Amino acid sequence: MLTQGTAEPAGPTGARPRGRSGLWRALGVLVVLAAVAPIVHRYLVAYPDDQWQVDLEVYREAGRSLLIGRPVYLFQTEVPQLLPFTYPTFSAVLSIPLALLPWTVAGWVWTGFQLLLLHAIVGLAFGPLLARAGRWSGLAHGLVVAACVWISPVGENIRFGQVNAVLVTLCLLDLVKGADGVRLGRFTLRWPRGALVGIAVAIKLTPGVFLVHFAVTKQWRELRNAVLAAVGVTVATFAVAPEGSLEFWTSALLNSDRLGPNAGSSNQSLRGFVLRLYLSDGATTALWGVLALAAAVAGFALARALHRRGDVVGEVAACGLVALLVSPVSWLHHYLWGVVVLGALVGDARVRARVVAAVAGLLLLWVAWPWWGANLLAERSVPTVLARVVQNGDLWWACAAVVVLWRLVVRHTPVQSRVVTNQSHSV
């Protein structure tokens, strides 16, 4: 919903005061373009054709399936990938515009869209830090984005043409800005807080952890809005694509083999870790159940504590960590939630320990630990235990993030009388 807001006050000459902020924003954009250029060149220019934007191809073909009447969940992409579509049918409906674009154009457009969303995520997650930069906030924004572009999960999202930036943006925007809306010139875009989370759940099920969080923290209005949004778009999708919707909810959803080899290095969830222990089926299920339950209890307790302290970015970060840990499959690109975690850790950069932790977390995410560990496993001179530890590096990062957020953010932040939601820089 659009509502008219109050315009920014004019200066003595009638022009709105801008100072040199426009120049710093332009410099910030140039910094981002310089930082992302090598990554874009690697994955969109120099990458082999048979590995180019393979997940985007899955989405695009799902949209084409709806357009030409082909079974959405039976079709697989071409050799050598042979990847099926695994998301709810609503995602296939959203993919129709991609199906209308030429393949190469779709890849470049989707990459640009991901980078715009990353810029928005940084603006929301690092709001207090950017606000301290004052008129230099545009340049500071660009520098933070440039640093985050080089973390492994961002590169993996660009490499595959993944959808995680959409999910993170929807959830973060909803909780951070849902009470106040987003300014669009003279107007403010508003929505029922929780509705964007519901749309994210309808796109992919893993943001469903936010529904549990809303219940734990007794945010009943947000829970209602999220459920209504998710159910509403899902029912509407049944009307548009009944056969695909029925196939997903009765068959495709229940087949975990459609997600690929769950025991591979790229699955950095607790279940992936347990599968790589190669225990019996019963022991694997039992151990994963215990670990997932412990992670859920700890993660939701952290999210609740941050909610009570009015730290909305931390609240979102904690829920994202729960999704990474308890999901049956958390691929490397799912760790895009790490950007939100880093923003929650650094805060406004007034606490040295939090700054140090955020910088350390950033540097650790620059390393593709799972691939490094997989290579070490092939080296006979490296102990298998050490290689396995490295192979699960992103999982250890997520576990450590829960502990560090509790020790550095929760324990040193007083409980507030109400939740503060308007704490972010502009998107």
Predicted confidence band of residue 404 (pLDDT cuts 50, 70, 90): very high
Q: For residue 178, what pLDDT is reported?
A: 83
Nearest to 4 by CA among 180, 183, 179, 193: 183
Mean pLDDT over each residue of the chain, to the nearest integer: 91
Geometric angle at alpha carbon 26, from 25 and 30, rounded to 5°: 115
Indicate if the alpha-carbon torsion angle 120, 207, 93, 79 is positive or negative: positive
Going by C-alpha positions, the residue among 273, 275, 271 that lies closest to residue 288 is 271
DSSP assignments along 112-153, one per residue: HHHHHHHHHHHHHHTHHHHHHTGGGHHHHHHHHHHHHHTSHH
**425 pLDDT band (50/70/90 cuts)?**
very low
H-run or E-run covering 86: none
Instruction: List residues bridging with 84 in a β-sheet.
Output: 76
For the entire predicted model, the pTM comes to 0.92
Whether 427 has a pLDDT exceeding 80, the answer reads no
The answer to whether the peptide bond before residue 80 is cis (omega within 30 degrees of 0) is yes
Q: Summarize pLDDT for 270-327 with one digit per residue, the tens.
A: 999 999 999 999 999 999 999 999 999 999 999 999 999 999 999 999 999 999 999 9
Each residue of 81-103: b (16+ CB within 10 Å) or e? eebbbbbbbbbbbbbbebbeeee
What does the alpha-carbon distance between residue 394 and residue 84 come to, in Å, rounded to a whole number?
26
* Confidence at residue 251, expressed as pLDDT on a 0 to 100 scale: 87
Residue whose token pair is 């906030």: 137
Q: What pLDDT, on the 0 to 100 scale, is given for residue 62?
A: 96
| pLDDT band, residue 182 (cuts 50/70/90) | confident
Question: Residues for the chain: how many in total?
Answer: 427
